[in-house]
Amino acid sequence: MLNLRFIQENPELVIEKLKKKNFDASQIVGQIIDLYQSKNEIQAKADQMKAEMNKLSKEIGQLFREGKQAEANAAKERTSVLKDSIKQLDEDFAKIDAQVFDLQVQLPNIPADIVPAGKTADDNQIVKTGGAVPELGEHKLPHWELASKYDLIDFELGVKITGAGFPVYKGKGSRLQRALINFFLNEAEKAGYLEIQPPLVVNEDSGFGTGQLPDKEGQMYHVTEDNLYLIPTAEVPVTNLYRDVIVDAKELPIKNTAYSACFRREAGSYGKDVRGLNRLHQFDKVEVVQVAHPDKSYEILDEMVAHVEGLVQKLGLPYRILRLCGGDMSFTSALTYDFEVYSAAQEKWLEVSSVSNFESFQANRLKLRYRDEQTKKPVIAHTLNGSALALPRIVAALLENYQTAEGIKVPEVLVPFCGFDLIQ
């Protein structure tokens, strides 16, 4: 959530910056400025009436002592009128405050200056590529056929149990999943992240705190009777560990990692892009989250990008890193880097990670602050997160890229975790 004072003091800047996200903020910002002016006028009136009432309250006793009964009663009546007026002004102030807040939360985060202009994924910038694309020959198979051939994943059984987008992993398919999870968590631990095992459902306040609500309400599974939401990513519960918390500046950066199942409705998804593991409603992911000092957050973003790059390099997958354009960024992000790995059988790039700096946007919603070492005053922190990594498309790329006539090879780094080096 953008800081209200910043919006007030920089309305034209906010409007101009959000154009890069293809968001016209002029009407909302204008309404906020007008309402804020009304708030100030109401506050001034209320303060003036309170001052008058305090003055009268002091005078009433003196008037009675002086035997000025009529004047004292008139002052009491005036005090009663002022109380009613102040109560009404306070109610009006609260209504306007709520209106301002409702408008404030509609504004997306301001993109960083480095964010390229653009409307769709076609306008994203490729900042780095790595790894070699394997030559598989004419007999290459897509991962859904490989999964069936080697009895690794049963997509139809998932449809029977739940519906499309809920695959059932079996045998070595399950063990490969578990190996990837453990590998990612171990690498995160080596990088200094503390592992968290969070709840898989969150309340409305948590969804609001990280920006999923109200922006992505339609994409989340809602447990209506209890008003809880299945998490779309571990970012939500892990970041909310620090909601309404003031941390010591010496604790920064705070680094957490978590494995979780993730749930996304993916409403409107259809066609060849959702086949197999390309797009699921339930999937596994390891997330890394940091709470950072504002002066260090972009340096930390670079470190997190390097961490994710190290994972795909160790898996031996061809990859590219994209800097997202304004139109392809999330509501909450100030700067995002996407990682894609190449699927050799499908001959396409698959997104496997997003690494983002939210600056103070989430922390402002969360009331997540650190205590400044010099002033001792609480200051809004910065938050960052990244997928490290999301499993489905990683599995798809591994199955396809490592297929041979003898079977599917397992990357060397995963063998200690899964106990086999070949799927056949």
Q: Is 370 helix (H, G, I), strand (E, B) or coil?
A: strand
pLDDT at 272: 58
| Section 84-102 average pLDDT | 93
Q: Which pairing describes strands 194-196 and 254-263: parallel, antiparallel, or unpaired? A: parallel
The reply, when asked if residue 279 is annotated as ligand binding, is: no
DSSP for 157-224 reads: HHHHHT-TT--EE-HHHHHHHHHHHHHHHHHHHHTTPEEE---SEEEHHHHHHTT-TTTTGGGS-EET
Token duo for residue 355: 């690494």
CB 103 within 8 A of CB 28: yes
Q: What is the pLDDT of residues 7-34, one digit of tens each?
A: 999 999 999 999 999 999 999 999 999 9
Q: What does residue 319 show for φ and ψ, rounded to 5 degrees?
A: -145, 165
DSSP for 379-413 reads: EE-EEEEEEEEEHHHHHHHHHHHTB-SS-EE--GG
Of the two residues 341 and 269, the one the predictor is more confident about is 341
Token duo for residue 71: 């004047």
Rounded Cα distance, 371 and 210, in Å: 21
The reply, when asked if residue 266 is annotated as ligand binding, is: yes
pLDDT at 182: 98
- Domains parsed from the chain with CATH numbers: 4-104 (1.10.287.40), 121-423 (3.30.930.10)
Q: What does residue 352 show for φ and ψ, rounded to 5 degrees?
A: -125, -10
The reply, when asked if residue 305 is annotated as ligand binding, is: no
pLDDT at 64: 84
With 70 as the cut, is the pLDDT of residue 123 above it? yes
Rounded Cα distance, 29 and 327, in Å: 20
Share of the chain above pLDDT 70, in %: 98
pLDDT band at 383 (very low <50, low <70, confident <90, very high): very high
Average pLDDT, the chain: 95
The reply, when asked if residue 52 is annotated as ligand binding, is: no
| Section 410-422 average pLDDT | 98
| This prediction's pTM | 0.92
Rounded Cα distance, 355 and 360, in Å: 16
Region of 18 on the Ramachandran plot (φ > 0 left; ψ -120 to 50 alpha; else beta): alpha
pLDDT band at 125 (very low <50, low <70, confident <90, very high): very high
With 90 as the cut, is the pLDDT of residue 249 above it? yes
pLDDT at 266: 80
With 80 as the cut, is the pLDDT of residue 215 above it? no
- Beta-carbon contacts of residue 218 (< 8 Å; ≥ 6 apart): 265, 267
The reply, when asked if residue 195 is annotated as ligand binding, is: no
With 60 as the cut, is the pLDDT of residue 71 above it? yes
| Section 287-296 average pLDDT | 98
Rounded Cα distance, 180 and 166, in Å: 19
| Section 222-228 average pLDDT | 95
Within 10 angstroms of residue 8's Cβ, the number of other Cβ atoms is: 14
The reply, when asked if residue 265 is annotated as ligand binding, is: yes
Rounded Cα distance, 65 and 291, in Å: 63
Q: Could you tell me which residues are beta bridge partners of residue 354?
A: 338
Q: What is the pLDDT of residues 250-280, one digit of tens each?
A: 999 999 999 999 999 986 555 556 799 999 9
With 90 as the cut, is the pLDDT of residue 60 above it? no
Rounded Cα distance, 404 and 418, in Å: 19
CB 202 within 8 A of CB 231: yes
With 80 as the cut, is the pLDDT of residue 168 above it? yes
| Section 314-339 average pLDDT | 98
DSSP H or E run through 187: helix 171-190
Q: Spell 205-214 as b/e; 16+ CB within 10 A means b.
A: ebbbbbbbbe
With 90 as the cut, is the pLDDT of residue 214 above it? no
